[in-house]
């Protein structure tokens, strides 16, 4: 999988966010905020293909956590990224 190249991080009031376009005529733009871990994964994985295991390795290396915890956290991040259409297969 790969982070969509259209994803651009903006800093608004000190927060790292992505603006998602409206999906219909009456929808408003949506904003997704990235916490420190999400930014770590974004910075480490953007611009290349990666696996869930590689994302977990980034978290395990940075936070010195067990592989099972890192895998669970990476899966949660990836689920959020997919739900918002920010990652491509």
Query: Quick one: tokens of 61?
Result: 């290396």
Instruction: Tally Cβ neighbours within 10 Å of residue 31.
Output: 12
Angle at 36 between CA 30 and CA 88, to 5 degrees: 55
pLDDT classification of 20: cutoffs 50, 70, 90 = confident
* Whether the predicted model's global pTM rises above the 0.85 cut: yes
Per-residue pLDDT, 86? 95
Distance CA(39)–CA(3), nearest Å, equals 12
pLDDT higher than threshold 80 for residue 25 = no
Segment 33-61, tens digit of pLDDT: 999 999 999 999 999 999 999 999 999 99
Contact between 34 and 16 under an 8 Å Cβ cutoff? The reply is yes
Q: Which residue has the higher pLDDT, 26 or 9?
A: 9
């Amino acid at each position: 999988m790969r982070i969509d190249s259209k994803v651009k991080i903006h800093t608004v009031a000190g927060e790292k966010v992505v603006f998602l376009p409206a999906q219909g005529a009456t929808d408003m733009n949506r904003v997704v905020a990235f916490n420190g871990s999400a930014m770590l994964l974004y910075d480490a994985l953007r611009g290349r293909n990666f696996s869930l295991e590689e994302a977990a390795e980034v978290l395990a290396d940075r936070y010195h956590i067990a592989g099972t915890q890192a895998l669970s956290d990476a899966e949660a991040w990836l689920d959020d990224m997919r739900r918002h259409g920010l990652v491509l297969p």
